[in-house]
Amino acid sequence: MAKALAAGIAQEATALGMELLGATGARGDHLIEKLYRDVKAMDIVEGTGQVQRVIIARNLVGLPR
């Protein structure tokens, strides 16, 4: 459950950081830009949060996997 929640929170935090810095943050030499790319890649590679939430919901209501 933490894995499903953490990816969304990380994405929200880095998006807010990019918004706060504006064009300066997206230049390529800022840490926030690297973190934003890493979070997006993590979301794609680790599997979608939607699938994880379906699995969690099935476990909570007692349905088979």
Question: Measured at the alpha carbon of residue 50, what is the angle toward residues 1 and 52, in degrees to the nearest 5?
Answer: 35
Catalytic residue, from 12, 19, 33, 46: name it: 46
19 flagged as catalytic: no
- Using a 10 angstrom Cβ sphere, with 0-12 exposed, 13-18 middle and 19 or more buried, the burial of residue 36 is buried
At 28, which amino acid appears? G
Active site positions, annotated: 46
